Amino acid sequence: SKALNLFLWDIYHEKKIIKQGLIPMELISSSGNYLHQMMGIDPPGGIYNHISGTDIIKHNDGNYYVLEDNIRCPSGVSYVICNRTALKRALFGVFNHYQTHTVTDYAENLLELLETSKPNGVDIPNSVVITPGMYNSAFYEHSYLAKTMGVELVEGRDLFVENDFVYMKTIRGPVKVDIIYRRIDDLFIDPLEFRPDSTLGVPGLFAAYKKGNVTIANAPGTGVADDKAVYTYMPEIIKYYLDEEPILNNVHTYHCSRPDELKYVLDNIHQLVIKPVDEAGGYGISIGNRLTKEEIEDVKNQIKASPRKYVAQPIMSLSVHPTYIAKKESFEQRHVDLRVFTVLGQDKEFVLKGGLTRVALKKGNLIVNSSQGGGSKDTWVLKK
């Protein structure tokens, strides 16, 4: 998370890592999540990726690998907390025999660290969570986090901007807002600056942000750093900014924008996973050994039409875990991965001592995302 934050600061300011030839500028500039509007802007507290979600897998070689980074609007932490609450009620006797780190302190730590990145001149910041609305698939999490942090849950229509400050409409009149934990995609946060047809955002919000009058978490433009093509440079990014070697390895990834790697991918799709670089939620993923000949040809055509949009990885053997299958009333093995959450504040960070173990409920499925029918499990980190 620290390395990604330093990387984001650099590419929106001096671009040292690019000038030194470690990352090609074309890779950054061609990302749909690289926002020219963010050039030269200093986010309050110097933090871009306040909340990060890192997906980790265990391969059949016994090693752990980072599958991808999520720093736009990473989701799933509410399931971590609610899984723990439910399991403690169901298996309260088991918890008495183990010293398990809590996960229910996430919200208070999130709010505390967000407040370290408050705008200058603000003593006691007023924070809100902004949601696209009740029809969003993650609305439960938005409302849960607002409730547990003790802050207001708002939609774009509940806020307005005046003299480059953000205010919330209340029955007692306008209330100034200093920190916005946003669960709205970049291009929808302000119709005056990005998509003019957006009804989800707040007109003038970005102007207030540029003036340093409001903190937006995560900052606009962070998505360029969780682009799956940029992900392949993470070892270099960590080494460059932190002068450290990565603790965990990346999954080997092929850039379809590179001619030699494109040729390899097209010749070996049957043994690769093809991913769009800018999608989330498991959408658009193709697993080569599950495709028919016709589907393989379709995927090849999609890649050739837009090579920059795709990367490929070997088909990793995700570890499995006994899972109760309700329809069969029995336990069966299902593939899992682990999403861990990190919160960055100014000179402080918090790593949740637990995580979201995501499970693919369909037999043999390697896509564990909840949006693709996946479930989740409580994950314990034991105290020594």
pLDDT tens digits for 154-182?
A: 999 999 999 999 999 999 999 999 999 99
Residue 257, pLDDT score: 87
**Shared-domain flag, residues 220 and 118:** yes
Q: Which of 294, 315, 336 is the last residue of a domain?
A: 315
Q: Report the percentage of the chain scoring pLDDT > 70.
A: 99
Mean pLDDT of 331-346: 93
**Shared-domain flag, residues 109 and 83:** yes
**Shared-domain flag, residues 214 and 277:** no
Determine, yes or no, domain membership for 382.
no
**Shared-domain flag, residues 82 and 192:** yes
Mean pLDDT of 60-68: 89
Determine, yes or no, domain membership for 384.
no
Residue 282, pLDDT score: 65
**Shared-domain flag, residues 276 and 155:** no
CB contact at 8 A, 346 and 352: no
Determine, yes or no, domain membership for 85.
yes
Q: Which of 295, 315, 335 is the last residue of a domain?
A: 315
Instruction: Indicate the SS3 state at residue 218.
Output: coil
| Nearest residue to 81 via CA among 58, 56, 115, 108 | 108
Q: Which band of pLDDT confidence, cut at 50, 70 and 90, is reported for residue 137? A: confident
pLDDT by residue (tens digit) across 231-260? 889 999 999 999 999 999 999 899 888 899
d(CA 94, CA 101) in angstroms, rounded, equals 14
Residue 327, pLDDT score: 83
**Shared-domain flag, residues 114 and 213:** yes
Mean pLDDT of 133-144: 93
Instruction: Indicate the SS3 state at residue 57.
Output: strand
Count up the domains in the chain and report the number: 2
Domain span at 261: 252-315
Residue 32 has pLDDT above 70, yes or no: yes
Distance of CA 342 to the CA centre of its chain: 10
Residue 233: CA atoms inside 13 Å, Cβ hemisphere, count? 22
CATH number reported for the structural domain that contains residue 303 in this entry: 3.30.1490.270
**Shared-domain flag, residues 232 and 256:** no
Q: Which of 271, 289, 315 is the last residue of a domain?
A: 315
Determine, yes or no, domain membership for 49.
yes
d(CA 322, CA 169) in angstroms, rounded, equals 49
Residue 287 has pLDDT above 90, yes or no: no
**Shared-domain flag, residues 290 and 218:** no
Instruction: Indicate the SS3 state at residue 242.
Output: helix
**Shared-domain flag, residues 54 and 183:** yes
